[in-house]
Amino acid sequence: MPLFDHMDFDAHEQVIFCADADAGLRAIIAIHDTTLGPALGGCRMWPYASDAEALTDALRLSRGMTYKSAMAGLPLGGGKSVIIGNPRTGKSEALLRAMGRSVERAGGRYIVAEDSGTSVADMKVMAQETAHVSGIHDKATGDGGQRSGDPSPATAYGVFTGLKAAVRHRLGRTDLDGLTVAVQGVGNVGGHLARLLKDAGARLILADIDTPRVTVLARELGAEVTTVEGIFDAAADVFAPCALGSVLNDDTIPRLRCAVVAGAANNQLGRPHHGEEIRRRGILYAPDYVINAGGIIDIHHERTGYNPEKAIRHIEAIGPTLAEIFARADTEGQPTGAIADAMARERIGKRR
């Protein structure tokens, strides 16, 4: 399995292959860049078809985290970890503690948090083996209550903020009332986003591989339901991918019937050139690592002394950041993703 010649290897500082036979752990920690600070990123657990697929995911996700932190103005670098296994059937305390020990051996260069297939409870198990864990402490809410360390609501709110900025730029609308939004994936983040959209007056089309979950949510929100594959063909003003990555590719882009793509999923573009294909079709794409930064912003504020009002203001800055990206993309005639990459590299370069 090549590493240095891998198409997604981007001068990563460190790639750690982790194994514990007794616990059944097979995992990869990818540390992309620590110029701005320690590499913070979630731990994903997924039944990858091959070790090569897991490596690709870790490399791409960790690079995205570097750019995400840079664009969010955070003193953090980019990293990600993946555990190869089924989170429904393969998870155990022994496996999670073994992963915690692997994180500890990275010496603080990588800070782990929850991601697809893992939870706050899982992070608390890892915390028995390492101090380098975030997103596990209860936080104050603006109304005086408490919520768990789960960053999903913050991620969803950031996407909601960014989606409104994209609608304003592409459709000239300052509200979402009556607009149709197709949400692919209604898990922790997608579900929160759907509720925010409904409250804002949007009409919803929902899709998820978990049929009972999407059926219950659709009934609650009065939404239409379609299949995970069929949602690409749905007539909507906005397509919001909130599941796994690489959903915007040679097969799906020609089928899109929307003006805006703005969702929570990481690595939405199958390959970088798909950003140009989307632009050529007149669709405005909100770069994923910019619009979905609410979660890492929330975790950063947890690490530095949580103030809910300050965290919300920081998350709401996603909107103006996207507006700047959209304006530069229009002026330079470039895909929004390429502009965001360039801006992130500029910020990291200044620190170097």
pLDDT digits (tens, 9 = 90+) for 97-135: 999 999 999 999 999 999 989 999 999 999 999 999 998
Examine the pLDDT at 168 and tell me if it is beyond 90: yes
307 or 262, which is more confident?
Answer: 262
pLDDT of amino acid 38: 97
pLDDT of amino acid 142: 61
Architecture (CATH level 2) of domain 152-341:
3-Layer(aba) Sandwich (3.40)
Q: Do residues 268 and 325 make contact, with C-beta atoms less than 8 angstroms apart?
A: no
pLDDT of amino acid 145: 64
Q: What pTM does this model have?
A: 0.92
pLDDT of amino acid 3: 81
Distance between CA atoms of 119 and 313, rounded to whole angstroms?
26
Examine the pLDDT at 4 and tell me if it is beyond 80: yes
What residue ranges do the domains of the chain occupy?
14-136, 152-341
Catalytic residue, chosen from 68, 80, 91, 139, is: 80
**Topology (CATH level 3) of domain 14-136:** Rossmann fold (3.40.50)
Please give the average per-residue pLDDT across 302-325, as a whole number.
94
Which range (7-11, 31-35, 144-148, 289-293) has the least confidence?
144-148
Examine the pLDDT at 337 and tell me if it is beyond 70: yes
Strand 284-285's sheet: what is its strand order?
224-225, 203-207, 180-184, 238-241, 260-261, 284-285
Residue 80 annotated among the catalytic residues of the structure: yes
Identical fold, 14-136 and 152-341: yes
The stretches of 181-317 forming alpha helices (DSSP H) are 188-199, 211-221, 274-280, 288-291, 294-304, 308-316
pLDDT of amino acid 149: 76
Q: To the nearest 10°, the Cα dihedral for 170, 176, 178, 181?
A: 70
